[in-house]
Structures are given as C-alpha cells and as structure tokens.
Structure 1
Amino acid sequence: MTVVDEFQPAPGTDDVDDVDMRHLRYFLAVVRAGTVSAAAQELHISQPSLSQQIRRLERRVGAPLFHRSSRGVELTAGGRAFLHGVRDIPGRLRSAIAAAAPAPADLPVGVCHGVPAEVLAEIQCGLTGRSARPDGAEGGPAPRLTMRSVHSASQLELLQHGELAFGVVRIPIDAPGLVLATVWDEPLGVVLHSGHPLAARPALTWADLAAQRLLWFDTGCAPGYAEAVLSQLAALGWQPEVHPMDHDQQALFVHALQSTPDLVALRPQPSVHGYPQLTWRPLPPHGAPRERLALAALDGGPHARTLRRVAAARYWPVGH
C-alpha cells in the first residue's frame, strides 16, 4: 500500500491560486498570537475553522508550518522561511491598491481598550478630511476608516506588517519607530460605584485610598502606560493591590465596581459621563497622573506623513 504524505508538495508549485490573502492573514495572526485560540479570537472566527484553514494552507505549501503543543504553536523551519517571504505582502498589496484605485482608501485603525467615543470621533473627523488623503492630493473621495480593538502592545507589529494603517494607543508606549500624535490628554480621577462608602465624600485623600484595591489594566494590554501610572501613584504614597481587567466591556467594568466593596478604578471624568451608577472624584492634587491617547503611524511611511499633516491642522502635539 502506498502511503501519501499529507504535506507532499502539490504539482505545479508556480500556481498559487489556492493561496489567497485570507490564508496569509490567518497565518500571520497565529504567528503573532502564539496560539490558535488567541488568533481566532482576534480574527472573530471559531478556533476549529481557523485550524482547518491553517491545515489547508500547509497542504497547499507542502510542508508543516507550525509545531503544535499544549502550550501553543511554534514555527517550523519551513514556517520561518514562509513567514520571511510573506510577512510584507498584506501591506504591499494594500499600498498598491491605494496607489492604483480611484476609490476611497480603506484605512484599518487599531483601537486600544477603553477609548472614549469622543476620541474616536475626533480621529474620524481628522483622518477623513481632504487634508488626510495618503497621497496628499486635494481632491477626490475621503478615506474610509475600519476600526477594531487591538491592545496597545500588539499595534507596532501590526503597523509594521501593514495590517494597520494607524493605531490608537495609550502613551507612554515602548514602540520605537512610531510617530505619535496626542489626541486626548486628561487627568485621571477615582471612579467608584455610587454605593461605595467613599462615594459620598466630595474629595478624597491618599489615606482614604490606602485600603482600596485598584481595577486596572492588565499590564500586557498597555504596559508602558500601566506601569508609568502605578509608578506615579507609588511616588505619591498609594501602592494599591491591583485587580487586573483584560476586557473592554463597560458593563463588566461597572459590575466589577458594584460587586466588590473595596474596589475603585482610575479614569478621566469624561469617560464616565452617562453612567449614573458611577461616581467620579478627583485624585488628590500635586502630580496626579494623566491619561494620554495618541494616534500612531509607522515612521517613514505615507501614513506618517498623513498623520503629521492632520496633527498640524488639528493642533495635536506630535512626538515619537
């Protein structure tokens, strides 16, 4: 009996019609996430469907691309070679389409957790104006923005691969090679549920906060920002026990504060407008930390030029 190798190269390897951009996007997502389940969550598809598509790609390539284990996946030698050859394809194709097509550009924008709606509206207004066209031309249709949730820590790689044109991140962020335009800069204050014992006080002291736990970002979501704020709080005399939050759902945020008596959060005041069950109090003065959100683009590319142009028009401070 003849045994057929599952990964035996198909005849006619010059013909790549069976490999489409979806397969490359799925492959790059698994590489980036390190597990199929995390990649499936990012892509908003089921894990079995993603596994099936990766196996289909491997059969078309003719070699296994990943070593699979209970801890996740690692690239094989063939997988590393394949990654080297395809990692820039999505960005190059997107640039080619933008250069050739008269239709409005489709600009994917990554958005970190907890960004207020007014920040997204400001970015939408800035990037879809005539001055925001990537080629710098004055006429023609405005670009379309496609926004999706992406952790700040993941956005540099996505920008480098061309899967994002822009990112919305919390700063500071350890991501060299980015142009950053600050769109939002607000002081942080204490957020409590209206039934919290401290909610009735018009002002809070550091002594009031000493016994409170802090509902705070998982440091993997926005490491530079999360660590900077905790360091500032420690210098001011508050070193809270941190209760990490790894989701972006306001209902779960409110529920956590409501169901845990000694739990508080830190947010700018505008972030809690419209939530009568929440109370906001300013932090004690003298160096209270701030939340800064920035629009990011990869330095040296066309989107960085767009960002600088829009930032100048809208008075957004620009840095790296």
Structure 2
Amino acid sequence: MTVLDERVGPFPLGRINDRDTLGDPTHEGVGHAVTHAEHVDDFDMRHLRYFLTVVRAGTVSGAAQELRISQPSLSQQIKRLEQRIGAPLFIRSSRGVELTTGGRAFLREIQSIPGQLRSAIAAAAPSPLVWPVGVCGGVPAEVLAEVQNGLTGRPGDRAEGRAEPALRMRSVNAADQSELLQHGELAFGIVRLPGAVPGLVRAVVWDEPLGVVMDAGHPLARRPGPTWSDLSTQRLLWYDEGCAPGYADTVPAQLAALGWNAALHPIDQDQQALFVHALQTAGDVVALRPRLAVQGDPQLVWRPLPTRAAPRERLAVTALADGRSARHLRTAAGRRGWPLLT
C-alpha cells in the first residue's frame, strides 16, 4: 500500500506552524485549512495516484498494468476526476496520452501532495519498521551490505528495547528513483554519481577505480593489462541512460579523453547472469567494474586500465533532504564516515 492509498484524519496538507497551532486548535490557519478541506471532501486520494501514474506511464494501458487494475476501470476513474475538476486533463491519441494545459497546471499543484502526506504521517507516527530502498543496476553485494549495516545498525536500540528498522530493497532504475522518493514510494535510493537532483541529500558509500572486466577465456585475459590499442578493438558492455543517468555519459567521455572511443553495447545491468553471458558469448566485448565488484568470480578476469587516472565508480545513498529519512541518513553517514553531498 502506498501513501496515496491511505486515508488520514481531518488535518490539512498545507504547511502550518506547529508553535502557533499545537496549543490553539482554533488558530486562524487551521480554520482556513478546514474551510478549504470542505471543498475537496469528495476527492479520493487514489484518484491522485491514478492521475500521477498515467502521467508517469504515458499511456492508460501502461498505468493500468502498473496499478494492477483493468484499463476500462482506470479510464473511468480518470473521467470521474476530470468531471469533478470540470476540465479535461489528458489529450488521448493512438500513441498514448499527453497533458492538457489544465492537466499541466493540476500536476504542478498536486505532485507534492504524496510526499507532504508521507512527511505528515511520518512526523506523527513512530519510526517505521521497514524502509523501502530502490537499488540501481549492477550494485555490488558489498555495497548492499554496507548500506544495510549503516542504515539499520543504530547503537543502543536493542539495549533500550526499540525494534531496529529493516530495509526492503528492490531494483529501481536511477532515473525513476527521484520521483518515487518524492511520492513516498521509497525512503532511500542507491544511485551512481554523478547525477545531482535538487532536493536530495546524498551520502557516498562506494568510491573505487574502474578496471576492465572480461571472460576468463578472452584473449586479453592472458595479459597483465590491456593497452589503449588493445581496447580500441573491443566494444564496451555498458549502461543505458535510464539505468545510470549522468554516469552513463560521463565515463565514456572520460575514456575518450584517455584514448578509447568505445563502441557501447548496452545490456540490462540488473541481471548478473545476462552480464556474464554477454561477456562469454561475444569475443570483442569487455566491461568496466571496480575490482572488488567481480573479485572471487572464477568466470571473470579483472585488469587495470592503462592509466593512473582511471574513471571511478561512486555509489551513493539518497533521501529527500527535508524528511525523516534524510535525518536518519545523516546520522548513519556520520557514524560510518560516509561523505555527504548537497
């Protein structure tokens, strides 16, 4: 269940100064909020979720599949929302949907509501027992263990009888994580740097130089290290932009400056089996990984790049800058020595 499925009490979503209202329930700000709330009594929070999902998916059918409801049912719910607002929100075509002028205005005003509601619930509720975490493709197990230990290992919790939070990790493209953080679907994300997004706090948990990874039977595996001339004949098994925004462009540009204009061979980096299979079945394909990421895998061989200034892989844990998750992340970063980025 997401925050958009949850119903809350009569408190408004607007920002109200706690110092002015907690001791005085008749405060003018609360009165205005209650009056405004009367005009939206017949709105259902799930309609906002449906609207936002259609915007994200770009098609009603894609949104229906994501929401696990039928397409006709979703279309009917969107129509009801448009009737309640009194204006069309989408222009429908054979290619999908796009927002009308009114739809764009509606999106601009309501897209922060899920995050605000999540923050309001989090501020009033006890600490959650489960933190959902989005993980971009190709993250080493060592990084997941470090994040697990850093975010859940709070000294004193067991001694004081408090339950330690658990992490629920799932694969999520880095390009989608910011939106899911904003909507409250994720508490944290794990992404590659660079890729700065406003409104997020980032803690670097992994910073290692990249080297060449190849199948153990590859001709270059018999050498102590490839030259730029050797690498010029190889394609690079690489991420697409959606999987690693910023990083997917930055590293090839760095390689080109060093002398390797690599032809890119994109593949789903979330599945290790496909990654290894591609290296085994194509004789002119290599990859880039930190040494620790493939250490101990007998099918793969790691060799250093022919430079002392090799590109680096930097992974960071992210959270919304003004929420409870960010406070928790800052505490963990200080305890584990993770550098914080703003």
Residue in 2 that maps onto 1:92: 116
Change (3 A) 1:28 1:71: same
Change (3 A) 1:62 1:37: closer
Please report how far the alpha carbon of residue 299 of structure 1 lies from its aligned counterpart in structure 2 after TM superposition: 2.2
Please report how far the alpha carbon of residue 62 of structure 1 lies from its aligned counterpart in structure 2 after TM superposition: 4.4
Please report how far the alpha carbon of residue 240 of structure 1 lies from its aligned counterpart in structure 2 after TM superposition: 0.8
1:300 aligns with one of 311, 318, 322: 322
| 8 A Cα contact 2:268 2:274, kept in partner | no
Change (3 A) 1:62 1:318: closer
Give matches, 1:1-320, under 5 Å. 14-16=41-43, 19-21=44-46, 23-36=47-60, 39=63, 43=66, 49=69, 51-63=71-83, 65-102=89-126, 104-130=128-154, 140-320=162-342
CA RMSD between the two structures: 2.8
Please report how far the alpha carbon of residue 126 of structure 1 lies from its aligned counterpart in structure 2 after TM superposition: 1.6
| 8 A Cα contact 2:51 2:78, kept in partner | no
Which AA in structure 2 matches 1:180? R
Which AA in structure 2 matches 1:183? V
Please report how far the alpha carbon of residue 256 of structure 1 lies from its aligned counterpart in structure 2 after TM superposition: 1.5
Tell me how far apart the structure 2 counterparts of residues 66 and 131 of structure 1 sit (CA, whole Å). Answer: 51
| 8 A Cα contact 2:134 2:170, kept in partner | yes
Answer with 201-210 or 310-319: which moved more.
201-210
Residue by residue, what CA displacement relative to the aligned partner does 1:143-180 show, whole Å, maximum 9, x if unpaired? Answer: 33232222222322332333322211100113233221
Please report how far the alpha carbon of residue 305 of structure 1 lies from its aligned counterpart in structure 2 after TM superposition: 2.2
Tell me how far apart the structure 2 counterparts of residues 127 and 176 of structure 1 sit (CA, whole Å). Answer: 22
- SS of the aligned residue for 1:199 comes to helix
Change (3 A) 1:308 1:102: closer
Aligned residues: 298
Tell me how far apart the structure 2 counterparts of residues 101 and 34 of structure 1 sit (CA, whole Å). Answer: 34
Tell me how far apart the structure 1 counterparts of residues 56 and 99 of structure 2 sit (CA, whole Å). Answer: 11
Residue by residue, what CA displacement relative to the aligned partner does 1:182-210 show, whole Å, maximum 9, x if unpaired? Answer: 00111111111222221222221111111
| 8 A Cα contact 1:166 1:295, kept in partner | yes
Please report how far the alpha carbon of residue 258 of structure 1 lies from its aligned counterpart in structure 2 after TM superposition: 1.8
The answer for unaligned runs of 5 or more in structure 1 is 1-11
Give TM-score, length-normalised by structure 2. Answer: 0.77
Answer with 80-89 or 274-283: which moved more.
80-89
- SS of the aligned residue for 1:145 comes to strand
Please report how far the alpha carbon of residue 40 of structure 1 lies from its aligned counterpart in structure 2 after TM superposition: 6.4
- SS of the aligned residue for 2:49 comes to helix
Residue by residue, what CA displacement relative to the aligned partner does 1:94-136 show, whole Å, maximum 9, x if unpaired? Answer: 2233233346344222211111122122112222233799xxx
Tell me how far apart the structure 1 counterparts of residues 164 and 54 of structure 2 sit (CA, whole Å). Answer: 33
Tell me how far apart the structure 2 counterparts of residues 189 and 232 of structure 1 sit (CA, whole Å). Answer: 13
| 8 A Cα contact 2:136 2:171, kept in partner | yes
| 8 A Cα contact 2:82 2:89, kept in partner | no
Please report how far the alpha carbon of residue 221 of structure 1 lies from its aligned counterpart in structure 2 after TM superposition: 2.2
Give TM-score, length-normalised by structure 1. Answer: 0.81
Please report how far the alpha carbon of residue 36 of structure 1 lies from its aligned counterpart in structure 2 after TM superposition: 4.7
Tell me how far apart the structure 2 counterparts of residues 53 and 274 of structure 1 sit (CA, whole Å). Answer: 51
Tell me how far apart the structure 2 counterparts of residues 155 and 66 of structure 1 sit (CA, whole Å). Answer: 25
| 8 A Cα contact 2:60 2:74, kept in partner | no
Q: Percent identity?
A: 64
Please report how far the alpha carbon of residue 301 of structure 1 lies from its aligned counterpart in structure 2 after TM superposition: 3.0
Which AA in structure 2 matches 1:99? A
Change (3 A) 1:270 1:311: same
Change (3 A) 1:25 1:270: farther
Tell me how far apart the structure 1 counterparts of residues 213 and 73 of structure 2 sit (CA, whole Å). Answer: 44
The answer for unaligned runs of 5 or more in structure 2 is 1-38
Tell me how far apart the structure 2 counterparts of residues 132 and 100 of structure 1 sit (CA, whole Å). Answer: 23
| 8 A Cα contact 1:114 1:248, kept in partner | yes
Change (3 A) 1:292 1:76: same
Please report how far the alpha carbon of residue 294 of structure 1 lies from its aligned counterpart in structure 2 after TM superposition: 0.3
Larger radius of gyration: 2
- SS of the aligned residue for 2:256 comes to helix
Tell me how far apart the structure 2 counterparts of residues 111 and 148 of structure 1 sit (CA, whole Å). Answer: 6
